[in-house]
Chains A and B, each alone.
Chain A
Amino acid sequence: MRGKIQLIGMVSSLLLLLVPAVAMAAGGGGAPIVIVSDTRDLEGILKWWGNLYNDSHLYFTLLTCALIPVVGVIFGVLADIVMSHIGIDLTSKDLPGH
């Protein structure tokens, strides 16, 4: 258990220090672009979302980074429930070895 905690701590530190390079590998770089969301014709949640983007890129980024995993997990769990309901065993699998 202690070893696992140490490993998690080590990985987290490494991520904080080194992950920008990995992120660049995920899609390449490029010059930053400045865009203002045109919210004049928008309504409801889309208007709020556009305004949030115009007000603060930082909040917009933080919310995006929080929402993506949450949405992913929600959809993933829903798909889990559907597959379990069908009767597929989602917990065990025989691995073909070397």
Chain B
Amino acid sequence: MEWLFVHMPIAGVDIFWPGLIILGLGVGIIGGFFGMGGAWMVTPGLNILGFPMAFAIGTDIAHMAGKSLVSTMRHGKFGNVDYKLGAIMIVGTVAGFEVGAQMVMWLERMGNVEVVVRWLYVVLLTFIAWMVFSDVSKAKKKAREAAAKGETLTDEHGLQWHKTLQKIKIPPMVYLKVAGIHCSIWLPIGVSFFTGWLAGILGIGGGLIRMPALIYLLGCPTHVAVGTDLFEVMISGVYGAGTYTFKGRTELVAAIIMLVGASIGAQIGAVATKYIKGTGIKVAFGCAVVGCLISVLMKLAVKYLPAFKFYLDWGATFLVLGLVAALSIYIFMKMLDGARKELAMKKARS
């Protein structure tokens, strides 16, 4: 069975390479579908496969850069990427992240950083989950009411916070063609500053926050939010790969093996958005957020229940990996179903 393991020249460990491909495939599907890097899923997965934590983070970012590039290319061809919006948002993201990072340092001096960050994470994930599911139920209720009147509605008419925010008319105004938004330039900068600030405090890529923010605060159609968020992830990923590699924390051999699965997965995830309505994407995203929330709570519980540390740590890790498996299978099946229908229609036409 030696052939199933590959030696990592920098980390100096032997890794089960089919595990890397499967992990890459799973997070590739999820990342391409939701528009996020998925560090919260990959890092524990790599750690389980035998990577020291420092290499798990660096290798994750290196593979994420390649994966996001593939997803962005695909979404770009579908017309799901608003490059202008992405470019504007980089300004706010960077500034917001700097403020968040400074706040973390201030909290460190106060000695509260870990507690504040972990509980902020819990509050934020709870809020995002509530927001997504209440939006979906509101949209369904409106659709039922419209159906009773004999009308049909598009699938994105739940929470309408963006309509209030778009009333802000501070110049300069900007028209974002792909997203179909005409608003003050300060709105995307402000929203990205806010999401960047949160990402800076939590020390995450931000896809988990930015994707719903693009939908609910800016008013992007779900598919454009996914594509544009991936564009942002790609930019931060390429640079992140550079900085982590320079620090000697990236195992490129593992990243390339993961990319075999991730590039296929990213295509599957991106193509799946073609067959699944915005509501479907939101529901699946909400489930991912809930899973992430439970795993964070399990990690938090270790502090209060040290006797159960072993079970809580492993439980959290397997919950995340189980979530990756379940979501990627769901998305893959949906993609297959949609592709089958598309091919049948083509056949019928010809």
Min CB gap A87→B, angstroms: 5
Counting contact residues on chain B (CB < 8 A from A), the size range is: 35 or more
What is the predominant secondary structure among interface residues of chain B facing chain A? helix
Question: Which of B92-100, B129-137, B299-307 is near enough to bind chain A?
Answer: B92-100
Q: Which of B9, B73, B239 contacts A39, CB < 8 Å?
A: B9
Say whether A26 contacts B236, CB under 8 Å. yes
Q: A35 near B248 (CB under 8 angstroms)?
A: yes
> A25-B200, A75-B70, A96-B223 are known contacts. Are A58 and B246 too (CB-CB below 8 A)?
yes
Q: Is the interface of A mostly helix, strand, loop or mixed?
A: helix
Sorting the interface of chain A by its residue count into under 10, 10 to 19, 20 to 34 or 35 or more gives: 35 or more
Q: How far is the CA of A12 from the CA of B154 in the complex (A)?
A: 37
Taking CB atoms, residues of chain A closer than 8 Å to B9 are 37, 39, 42, 46-47, 49-50, 53
The reply to whether A64 and B245 contact each other, CB–CB distance below 8 Å, is yes
Task: Report chain A residues within 8 Å CB of B339.
Answer: 86, 88
State the Cβ distance, A45 to closest chain B Cβ, in Å.
Answer: 9
Chain B residues with Cβ under 8 A from A67's Cβ? 252, 256
**Residues from chain B with Cβ under 8 Å of A49 in the complex:** 9, 252-253
The one of B65, B90, B204, B278 in contact with A18, judged by C-beta atoms closer than 8 angstroms, is B90
Cα distance, A75 to B65, chains bound together (Å): 13
Give the distance in Å from the alpha carbon of A72 to the alpha carbon of B230 in the complex: 14
Q: Is A38's CB under 8 angstroms from B240's CB?
A: no
Question: Known contacts A26-B37, A79-B70, A96-B156: does B12 contact A38 (CB below 8 Å)?
Answer: yes
Q: Does A65 contact B (CB under 8 A)?
A: yes
- Residue from B224, B237, B245, B248 within 8 A of A33 (CB atoms): B248
Is B77 in contact with A75, judged by CB distance below 8 angstroms? Answer: no
Known: A71-B256, A75-B260, A93-B80. A22 touches B93 (CB 8 A): yes
Known: A21-B98, A27-B60, A96-B222. 14 other contacts (CB 8 A): A14-B94, A25-B97, A28-B57, A35-B10, A37-B9, A37-B10, A53-B10, A64-B242, A65-B238, A72-B70, A73-B73, A83-B267, A96-B154, A98-B180
Partner-A contacts on B (CB < 8 A): 7, 9-12, 37, 39, 54, 57-58, 60-67, 69-70, 73-74, 77-80, 84, 87, 90-91, 93-95, 97-98, 101, 154-157, 180, 196, 199-200, 203-206, 219, 221-224, 233, 235-250, 252-253, 255-256, 259-260, 262-264, 266-267, 271, 273-274, 277-278, 339, 342-343, 346
